[in-house]
């Protein structure tokens, strides 16, 4: 995996903690939240304050997320907001944290200067024992304060100030005045620098969770469904109309089409469908060549053509189906009418431009395993899992391709593949509040979200 790290494809854009004072403040917060401390003198943290180095040190990659839900967080700086969220159990978690920081940036800056901010993404349940528990996640709320309780003290001081200003005898209440003075020593001037943090409960409807092997939950749809990566052993009835797995190609395709969630890429406006499909063909050839030990360290277009000729007969069915479509597009003849049972079917689809665009493209990336670029863009954890199984030749090619072809123009590549998304980036989710809307307003573009 170090090859990915060196190319900036894994653990990229993390916030660096190197100074003695910052390490000390992190330890203060870590002990407050988990009862543990780190002996490391420098490390990196994600948007939630999770450090992969500390996870290794503690032998606990979930030290800020012990039950798989109610993610805890540590904020040393508002600059963490551009970092990714590692080991995310729910596809919505990073966007929630980002919106919380954006909405409270001034207050969080003032608070984090004096004391680290700690908090939790609070669901209505505290553990998930079976898939049905996922449907008890009716609300999520961000609960946060400093380690020293400055926000709570600020709220208490605000209440006393209100009493002082409104009660007839407030000006002569020596006890009340003494309590206000004592609290102000802890909070500072809350009139000039308010310490209240805005939070809001909201409903989580459509999301992906890595729990139970991976489940896509679509509750806000004309026909509701759960789509699982692995078939569930649970006999519990889930409160959706359909429970499918990725192997149920006909049923998955029907769900996507009935709910008008996808479109063929060659029907999309201003899209070079032929060019996109040619690249998918290249990825399939690379897979076959790497499996046969070919040196792929500096593959040119000419080399790729030679590899196609060499392995053409041995290439999988999906390659020949896609090749036929590319040929038909080039000469302008009618395209074949494919069914979900055809190997190439899902490679021809992308999400329509709706609130669940990222979630649907994420699902499609797992239906099209040969397209490692889409898998990396849309579902990094699945990409990393697949990457571990590849030959060294394919690892070298894929990491170099992504570094050279994707990382240099992430926004342009995403627009080319998935179409324009005004106001929506990889964090773009539907939180039950309308298209491109988060719990505290419109979702901003964040180009660093996928690093």
pLDDT of residue 401: 92
pLDDT of residue 430: 45
pLDDT of residue 109: 82
pLDDT of residue 139: 77
CA 393 to chain CA mean position, Å: 28
pLDDT of residue 447: 43
pLDDT of residue 74: 93
| Tens-level pLDDT at each residue, the chain (451 residues) | 888 988 888 988 899 999 999 999 999 999 989 999 999 999 999 999 999 999 999 999 999 998 888 899 999 999 999 999 999 899 988 988 998 899 888 888 877 777 788 888 887 667 788 888 888 876 788 888 777 654 555 555 556 556 656 767 656 666 655 755 665 655 554 444 555 676 666 667 899 999 999 999 999 899 999 999 988 876 568 999 999 999 999 999 999 999 999 999 988 877 888 999 999 999 999 999 998 888 888 888 888 999 999 999 889 999 999 999 999 988 888 888 899 999 999 999 999 999 899 999 999 999 999 999 999 999 999 999 999 999 999 999 999 999 999 988 898 999 999 988 644 344 444 444 444 444 434 444 454 444 4
215 contacts 229 by C-beta, under 8 angstroms:
yes
38-45's contacts with Cβ under 8 Å and 24+ in sequence apart are: 42/16, 42/17, 42/18, 43/17, 44/11, 44/14, 44/15, 44/16, 44/17, 45/14, 45/15, 45/17, 45/74, 45/76, 45/80, 45/83
pLDDT of residue 190: 43
CA distance 380 to 10: 9
86 contacts 71 by C-beta, under 8 angstroms:
no
CA 178 to chain CA mean position, Å: 48
How many residues make up the chain in this entry? 451
Cβ–Cβ contacts within 10 Å for residue 89, how many?
Answer: 18
Cα–Cα–Cα angle for 253, 420, 446, rounded to 5 degrees: 105
Cα–Cα–Cα angle for 140, 144, 149, rounded to 5 degrees: 150
The HSE-up count of residue 293 (CA atoms within 13 Å, CB side) is 0
Q: How many helices (H) and strands (E) does the chain have?
A: 16, 13
CA distance 370 to 281: 9
CA distance 291 to 288: 5
CA distance 394 to 283: 10
CA distance 144 to 134: 23
């Amino acid at each position: 995996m170090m090859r990915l790290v060196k190319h900036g494809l894994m653990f990229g854009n993390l916030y660096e903690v190197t100074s003695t004072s910052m390490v000390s403040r992190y330890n203060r917060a870590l002990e407050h939240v988990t009862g543990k401390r780190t002996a490391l003198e420098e490390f990196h943290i994600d948007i939630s304050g999770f450090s992969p180095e500390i996870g290794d040190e503690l032998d606990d990659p979930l030290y800020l997320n012990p039950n798989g839900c109610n993610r805890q967080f540590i904020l040393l700086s508002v600059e963490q907001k551009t970092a990714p969220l590692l080991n995310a159990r729910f596809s919505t978690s990073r966007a929630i944290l980002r919106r919380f920081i954006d909405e409270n940036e001034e207050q969080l800056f003032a608070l984090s200067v004096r004391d680290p901010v700690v908090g939790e993404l609070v669901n209505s349940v505290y553990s998930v024992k079976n898939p049905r528990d996922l449907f008890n996640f009716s609300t999520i709320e961000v609960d946060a304060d400093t380690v020293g309780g400055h926000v709570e003290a600020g709220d208490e001081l605000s209440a006393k100030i209100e009493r002082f200003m409104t009660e007839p005898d407030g000006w002569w209440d020596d006890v009340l005045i003494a309590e206000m003075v004592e609290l102000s020593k802890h909070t500072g001037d809350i009139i000039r620098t308010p310490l209240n943090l805005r939070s809001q409960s909201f409903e989580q409807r459509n999301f992906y969770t890595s729990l139970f092997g991976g489940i896509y939950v679509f509750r806000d749809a004309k026909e509701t469904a759960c789509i699982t990566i692995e078939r569930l052993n649970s006999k519990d009835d889930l409160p959706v109309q359909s429970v499918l797995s990725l192997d149920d190609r006909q049923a998955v395709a029907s769900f996507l089409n009935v709910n008008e969630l996808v479109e063929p890429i060659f029907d999309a406006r201003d899209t070079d469908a032929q060019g996109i499909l040619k690249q998918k063909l290249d990825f399939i050839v690379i897979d076959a060549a790497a499996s046969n030990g070919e040196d792929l360290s500096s593959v040119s277009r000419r080399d790729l053509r030679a590899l196609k000729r060499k392995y053409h007969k041995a290439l999988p069915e999906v390659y020949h189906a896609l090749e036929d479509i590319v040929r038909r597009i080039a000469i302008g003849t009618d395209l074949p009418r494919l069914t979900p049972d055809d190997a190439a079917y899902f490679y021809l689809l992308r999400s329509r431009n709706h609130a669940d665009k990222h979630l649907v493209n994420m699902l499609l990336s797992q239906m099209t395993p040969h397209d490692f670029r889409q898998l990396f863009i849309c579902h990094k954890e699945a990409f990393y899992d697949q990457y571990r199984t590849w030959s060294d030749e394919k690892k070298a090619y894929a990491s170099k391709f992504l570094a050279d072809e994707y990382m240099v123009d992430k926004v342009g590549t995403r627009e080319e593949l998935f179409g324009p998304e005004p106001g929506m980036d990889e964090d773009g989710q539907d939180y039950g509040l309308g298209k491109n809307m988060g719990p505290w307003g419109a979702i901003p573009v964040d180009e660093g979200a996928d690093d």
